[in-house]
Amino acid sequence: MVSAALVALAGAGFAVAGQGPRTFDGDLKKGGVVSFRLSGHDGKAVDDISIDGIAADCRPGSATLDYVIFGDTPVNDDRTFAVRSEDGTGGKALVKGRFSRKFRRVEGVVRVYGKFFGDSTRCDTGKQKFKAG
């Protein structure tokens, strides 16, 4: 089992005046955890998404991957959000979710894929569901 840590920069995050952000942590279906903050500034946003210990199929073998997306992603009027990020080495991540009406729970999917551990190793976690709240 091999481990990789990747960081992608998606912009600067922000704080909420007079209100602390709420943190969500959700277990991924095949192992690992996704976590992020829900904050707001003229609406709501998802900040600093962290994917830790997600199981991946790699050629050859298997691996555990970590991926971080810094910055904020807006939450749409229908309580959904989606972000796709790519780091400088060919690793990619996709995170989609939908909050409950009162923003107490969230369900979604995470996928991390692309080149890791140099140019020759391709990994894919597939879409893994999560629930948090």
Domain extent listing, the chain:
2-132
> What pLDDT, on the 0 to 100 scale, is given for residue 11?
36
φ, ψ of residue 33 in degrees (nearest 5) = -140, 140
pLDDT < 70 regions, the chain? 1-20, 41-43, 119
> What pLDDT, on the 0 to 100 scale, is given for residue 89?
80
> What pLDDT, on the 0 to 100 scale, is given for residue 36?
95
Q: How far apart are CA 78 and CA 75, in angstroms?
A: 8
Partners of 98 in beta bridges: 80, 107
Q: Is 89 exposed, middle or buried (0-12, 13-18, 19+ CB in 10 A)?
A: middle
Statement: 2-132 belongs to CATH 2.40.128: yes
> What pLDDT, on the 0 to 100 scale, is given for residue 80?
97
Among the listed residues 37, 13, 43, the one whose alpha carbon sits nearest the alpha carbon of residue 95: 37
Q: Which residues contact 118 (CB under 8 A, 6 or more apart)?
A: none
